[in-house]
Amino acid sequence: MFLKKLTYTTWGLLALAITLMFVTLNNVKKENEYDWIQRFEQEGIKNTRIIEEQLETIAQELMGIASLFKVSKNITRSGFKTYTSPLLKKNNFIKSFQWIPRVQQDQRSALESMAQKDGFINFKFTSLSKNTTIITAPKKNEYSPIYYMEPHSDDESFLGFDISTQPVLLKLMNQARDSGEIVAASTVNLIHKNPKKMVALFYLPLYEGVDTPKTIEGRRNLFLGTVLGTYQIKNMLEKTINPYLTSGMFLTVLDEDRKSELYGNLKENALIKKEMALRFSQIHWFLVWQGNLEFQKGPNRLHNWLSAAVLVLIVFIAVIFQILSSRARRIESEVCLRTDELKNLKNELEEKNLTLHELIKVKNELLGMASHDLRNPLTSIKGYSEFLLKKGTTLKEETRTDFLKIIHSASGNILGLLNDLLNLSSIESGQLVLNLQPGNLRGLIEERVKLYTHLATEKNIHFNISFQQTTAISFDTPRIGQVLDNLLTNAIKFSPVSSTIKITMESGDGFVRVTVTDEGPSIKNEDLDDLFQPFNKIGSDSTKKGTGLGLAIAKKMVALHGGTLTFKSSKNQGASFSFELPENSSFY
């Protein structure tokens, strides 16, 4: 009977092993697939930034051409060609550069004669007829002809073409004129004889004088013309992104309506898909990143080995259990002899058991918090550092700087978490010693408010500060600064846009009281008991960020000063936190 029970136990453990193997296989597989998708999304974000930088580079090229016109009042056709030829040679996706002056009716004949003297014998101002044939432009008060064009060998017939006769081109030119900035848009190729192809047009306005007029009326009156750059979208994207696309990753660029594919084509068998919007002036594209198992060799397959390891481990435990069970009767007599001793230790063990449960709870909370709050910044640091090691030399300095800033920010988050844990540990163990000195609490508050003004400005939040005359107090400046940091950042985080945060300092009953009140959502009654407990995060899912240690540390810091940190709900909504520090008039 005993052997039969042992057999049943062994079979039970084996069944448990198989169950755990499949559970582990499924969980680890999902985790690896999630990490794989995260790496894919990070790669897509980095590549999208590279395309944005290319558009910014195009804008800088046009500004260089505009600078040529500003420096010299008389730019010849040959001078225009000399400056633009290296740019055309460097980038084969540039269709053309054009200078489109603003021409009055009485200037038309002179400009046509000048172009003819430059060798364009048939040059004249032209427009398109209803059947899209080129005709002589009719007389009107003002023209916008293509006067310089590089290259012009294939498009010489369009020299003199009045773009103001085309509503789409006229609208973009007027927007650039009135805004004083570069206007970029993607449209069909209206100028270069191929209406089926999409091109990117970049308009840069020029004005009389060195500076851009400040008013729309001034910009319209002093408008001289525009520098127009025409770019083949497909070729530009191909040259920009191909060097950075890793194996198994594909890009499709759709227009604003998601109807036309400007670059690439959507894959039907893609395992991953991530859409990202790209906006530059009036260029509105949707970038669809797709990937298959060739991307970084797919998800990590370590889960197969891990599951097998779990199975072997449980089988090993079952065998050990079988061996140990065979000795159970022999050990049973010895256990009886020790029973009396165990009874004497029972009370002591129960007390220690309660302490142990508390420690286990803290440990579990710490592990859960650390695994969640450390993994994201560590993943960012690992991903961006790997990218810099692989492709850092090919990136622009600005991009490398952006990546390093992300790494620095993630490192700062980890350091902040560790500092919070060390502060809490120092307080709990009694090792934290305060450096109490007479200080200017009002000045410290003003300094901390100034420090976080930029965060408040992003949400249009205003500070309302009210100070009453108070007696002198002594405090540890860095520690009370840490308390103010926590209360101010919490108030900014939970406050709605365009609200007010009120800060008051007053004295009474032997204490100096500082109160920070916001207009955000109030704290629920069921959350009040956990408000100052470590690792508890109060609020909605969107605001449950951080370690959950801030208020706990702040309360303990104030308590070490002999004061208290309390909370009360505002009359309407929001939260109000106050801390009191004992007055000490003997310093003055």
d(CA 12, CA 565): 55
DSSP 441-453: HHHHHHHHHHHTH
Buried b / exposed e over 334-371, threshold 16 CB at 10 Å, is: eeeeeeeeeeeeeeeeeeeeeeeeeeeeeeeeeeebee
**Secondary element (H or E) of residue 341:** helix 328-391
Question: Are the C-beta atoms of 210 and 70 separated by less than 8 Å?
Answer: yes
Q: How wide is the angle at C-alpha 559 spanned by C-alphas 554 and 562, nearest 5°? A: 140
The tens digit of pLDDT for each residue in 427-478 reads: 665 666 788 888 888 888 998 888 888 888 888 999 999 988 777 788 988 8
- Say whether domain 337-432 belongs to CATH 3.40.50.720: no
Question: Residue 153: its pLDDT value, please?
Answer: 59
**Secondary element (H or E) of residue 569:** strand 564-569
Pairing of strands 511-517, 249-254: unpaired
The tens digit of pLDDT for each residue in 136-171 reads: 999 999 999 999 999 875 556 778 999 998 999 999
Question: Domains of the chain: which residue ranges?
Answer: 61-237, 337-432, 437-587
Question: Residue 26: its pLDDT value, please?
Answer: 76
Can you list the residues of the chain whose pLDDT is less than 50? 2-3, 192-193, 195, 541-544, 585-588
Residue 586's CB is within 10 A of a number of other CB atoms, namely: 8
Question: Are the C-beta atoms of 512 and 470 separated by less than 8 Å?
Answer: yes
The tens digit of pLDDT for each residue in 365-387 reads: 555 555 555 665 677 677 768 77
Name residue, tokens 């994201």.
376
Question: Residue 354: its pLDDT value, please?
Answer: 72
Question: Residue 403: its pLDDT value, please?
Answer: 74
Helix axes 397-429, 550-560, angle to 10 degrees: 50
**Secondary element (H or E) of residue 457:** helix 453-458
Q: What's the residue count for the chain?
A: 588
The dihedral formed by the CA atoms of 157, 163, 169 and 174, expressed in degrees to the nearest 10: 150
485 CB-near residues (< 8 Å, 6+ apart): 448, 451, 452
Buried b / exposed e over 540-570, threshold 16 CB at 10 Å, is: eeeeeebbbbbbbbbbbbbebbebebbeeee
Question: Residue 585: its pLDDT value, please?
Answer: 40
| Closest C-alpha among 102, 208, 109, 191 to residue 154 | 191
Dihedral sign for Cα atoms in the order 289, 290, 296, 299:
positive
- Say whether domain 61-237 belongs to CATH 3.30.450.350: yes
Question: Are the C-beta atoms of 394 and 387 separated by less than 8 Å?
Answer: no
Tell me if the bond preceding 534 is cis, omega within 30° of 0: no
Instruction: For domain 437-587, give the CATH superfamily.
Output: Histidine kinase-like ATPase, C-terminal domain (3.30.565.10)
Phi and psi (nearest 5°) for 86?
A: -60, -35
